[in-house]
Homo-oligomer: A and B are copies of this chain.
Amino acid sequence: MSRDLDIHVCIIEDDETIREGYVYLIGNTPGYKVVGSYPSFEDAAKKLANDNPDVILLDVELPGISGIDALPKIKKLAPEAYILILTVYEQDMLIFRALGNGASGYLTKNTPPEKIISAIQEVMEGGGPMSAHIARMVITSFQRNEASPLTRRETEILEQIATGKSRKRIAQELFIDLETVKSHIKNIYHKLNVHSKADAIKTAKDNKFI
């Protein structure tokens, strides 16, 4: 069987035991081949472009530059590769920064071996593998706060303000008078206890009112 049809995988993980575990797991699974294995981004950087991986397993906590900050650089070295984050951390900030920086999946380290293999398969087939809890957090990030103090119209107008439009333009697009828009904004400011649009937008976003 030709090795050329195998999925080529790189691993960047500082803990030697865990790293060797992945190497063993993937190397011994038919259809997969480990083409590189490094304890840090600095080590990986030199050889990554030559490895020509299809998928890169990346740890977030690495010595030197963190996995998340390394993501854009890895993307440049291996633009065709899918990057899967493998980590113990489940903090919102890390997840969203990782995805924003180009990760195509996010797995926690308690993921059983067979799930890691299927995640690699899945990302190659156009999927976005995530651990269950991560997926929930991602979905939740799209959702609004149902206990918003703002009325429907107020919410609509604050959303428009958040796009940078002037009150005049908002009035025109909603077919209402400029004075009406101003009234709504005054009410929004009172309800949110702020005195500027920047603060209104921040408060509203922090509380998921918009």
Number of chain copies forming the complex: 2
Given A128-B136, A162-B164, CB of A144 within 8 Å of CB of B100: yes
A138 within 8 A of B: yes
Interface string of A166-202 (1 = CB under 8 A from B): 1001000000000000000000000000001110111
A127 within 8 A of B: yes
Which of A's residues lie within 8 Å of B, judged by CB?
75, 96, 99-100, 102-105, 122, 125-130, 132-140, 142-144, 146, 161-166, 169, 196-198, 200-202
Can you sample 26 A-B contacts with CB below 8 Å?
Answer: A75-B146, A100-B142, A103-B139, A104-B136, A104-B139, A105-B139, A122-B132, A126-B132, A126-B136, A127-B132, A127-B136, A128-B132, A128-B136, A128-B137, A128-B138, A129-B132, A129-B135, A130-B139, A138-B138, A138-B139, A163-B198, A163-B201, A163-B202, A164-B197, A164-B198, A164-B200
